[in-house]
Amino acid sequence: MAHIAIHADKMTLAEKDALIRICPFSAIRHEGDTLTINAGCKMCRLCVKKYPQFVQLVEESVQGVDKSLWQGVAVYAQLTERGVHPVTTELLGKAKELAGVIRQPVYAVLPGHPTDAAARECLRYGADRVYVYDDTCLQNFAVDRYTACLEDFITRVKPCALLFGATSPGRSLAPRVAARFRTGLTADCTKLEMRENTDLVQIRPAFGGNIMAQIVTTRTRPQLCTVRYKIFTAQTPDDHPKGVIVPMALPDGARAGDIEVLHVKRKPREVDIAEAEVIVAAGRGVKNQRDLAMLEELAEALGGMLAGTRPMIEAGWLDPRRQIGLSGRTVRPKLIITCGVSGSVQFAAGMRASDTIIAINTDPNASIMSLAHVGIVGDLYEIVPALLKKIREGGGLDV
C-alpha cells in the first residue's frame, strides 16, 4: 500500500496554489494552512514528479496473516425444509477439488434444527467434517444467530476459505462474516481456482460482463465468496462416507439475538427456470409479445419452460423470474433452444453450462453460434413452426 504525503509547511502560498492546479482530478484542497488529498486522487503521481521537494510517495508495509494457521476449505451448508440446499452439494464438490490442490480437508458448517439428515447428506457429498450447530432457536433463519455460529466456527477451526451459495441467506450471512473478520468477500463467482499457497483465485464478470476479474485476498483470512446455484456440478454421492459429524455448542449470547421469528407464512412456489431440464429462450429476434405464445408452445411440447433475455424482461414481455443471465438466473438444463438471441456476455454467463445448446438465428456470425452445439441459420418464424410440426407428428428432436 502507498499514499502521497504533502509537506505544506515548506511551501509558499503560490507554490500551494500551483500544486492544486496541477492535479488533473482536483483531489488536492486547502484545509486551513495545510493541503489535503481527497478520495478523488487516482495515484497518477503527477504531483510527485513535478514537485518532488514537497510531495512524496510513501510506501507502507502491511503485515499479512500467517497462512499456515488457516487450514481447510469450508462450505456454509444451507438447511431447507427438504434438506440441504442443492447449491451446498455443488459447493462441496468444488471445495473438494480446491482442497485437493493444497492437500487439506473439506468442512461443512451447518447451523439449524433439526440437522441429522442434512449432516449425513453433507458427508455423502464430500465433507470430511460437518460442524453442526443444532438448537431450536436456529430452526428458522435468523441472520444474527447464524452469523454468531459462523463466527464461532471460523474462530475455532480457522478454514482458509469459506464458500457460500448466492441464495438469500447466503447473501445475508457472507458480508456480515466478512466484516467481523475484516476480510474480503467476492460475490457471484463463476469460477474458483486454488493456488498452492492457499490463495483462492475468485473469478467473476466485471464491468457489465466485458472482463473476467481475478480477485485474490492475499493478506487476510478466511477468504469468502458467494457462488450462484447451477454454476458448479455436484459430485456423485458416496453411500459409504468416511467423514465425521462434529457437534458444536451454541456460542454465548447467540440465543439472545436481536431478531425473533414470530410467524412463518408459506407462499406459493415461484417459477424457477433454474430447475428446468428444457428451456426455450426468447431474444430480440422475437418481433412482438404475442409471438411468445409460439415459443411457449414449443417449450410445453418439450416438457420445458419459456425464458428470455434482459430486453424481453425490460420490455415487460416476460416475468423477471424468467430472465437468464448475470442479472437474472443461472441455468443448466439438459437442452436449451435460443430463438433470436444474439448471445451477449451477460446472457452467455447464465447458460453456457447447458448440456445441449441449439441456437436459431438469422446471423451466422452471432455470438451465440460460438456457444451452440447446433446452430440453425434461419428465421425463427419458419423454423419454430417446423419443429412444432415434427414434434406433433412424433418425430422428436435429433440433437
pLDDT tens column, 41-85 = 989 999 999 999 999 998 876 678 999 999 999 999 999 988 999
Q: Which fold has domain 2-59?
A: Alpha-Beta Plaits (3.30.70)
Say whether pLDDT at 399 is over 60. Answer: no
Per-residue confidence (pLDDT) for residue 61, from 0 to 100: 67
The answer to whether the 2-59 and 273-392 domains have the same CATH topology is no
Per-residue confidence (pLDDT) for residue 393, from 0 to 100: 83
Task: Compute the average pLDDT of residues 361-373.
Answer: 95
pLDDT in tens, 123-170: 999 999 999 999 999 999 999 999 999 999 999 999 999 999 999 999
Torsion of Cα atoms, 115 then 167 then 235 then 162, to 10°? -80
Between 3.40.50.2300, 3.30.465.10, 3.40.980.10, 3.40.50.620, what CATH number should domain 67-247 receive? Answer: 3.40.50.620
Helix, strand and coil in the chain, % to nearest 5 = 30, 25, 45
Task: Compute the average pLDDT of residues 310-337.
Answer: 94
| Residue ranges covered by each domain of the chain | 2-59, 67-247, 273-392
Per-residue confidence (pLDDT) for residue 317, from 0 to 100: 97
- Asked whether the bond before 105 is cis by omega within 30 degrees of 0, the reply is no
Per-residue confidence (pLDDT) for residue 263, from 0 to 100: 83
Task: Quote the DSSP letter at residue 323.
Answer: B
Per-residue confidence (pLDDT) for residue 397, from 0 to 100: 60
What is the CATH number that goes with domain 273-392? 3.40.50.1220
Average pLDDT, the chain: 92
Task: Compute the average pLDDT of residues 206-224.
Answer: 88
Assign 349 a pLDDT band (cuts: 50, 70, 90): confident
Per-residue confidence (pLDDT) for residue 267, from 0 to 100: 77
Q: What are phi and psi of 105, to 5 degrees?
A: -75, 165
Task: Compute the average pLDDT of residues 177-199.
Answer: 95
How much of the chain, in percent, has pLDDT values that exceed 70?
97
Max Cα-Cα span within the chain: 90
Q: Which residues lie below 8 Å from residue 217, measured CB to CB, with a gap of 6+?
A: 183, 184, 199, 200, 202, 223, 224
Instruction: Give the residue from 304, 341, 301, 303 showing the smallest Cα distance to 324.
Output: 341
Cα–Cα distance for residue pair 181/179, rounded to 1 Å = 5
Q: Which of 78-82, 304-308, 320-324, 325-329 has the lowest mean pLDDT?
A: 325-329
How much of the chain, in percent, has pLDDT values that exceed 90?
80
Q: Which amino acid is at 317?
A: W
Say whether pLDDT at 288 is over 90. Answer: yes
Which SS3 state, helix, strand or coil, does residue 220 take?
coil
Assign 240 a pLDDT band (cuts: 50, 70, 90): very high
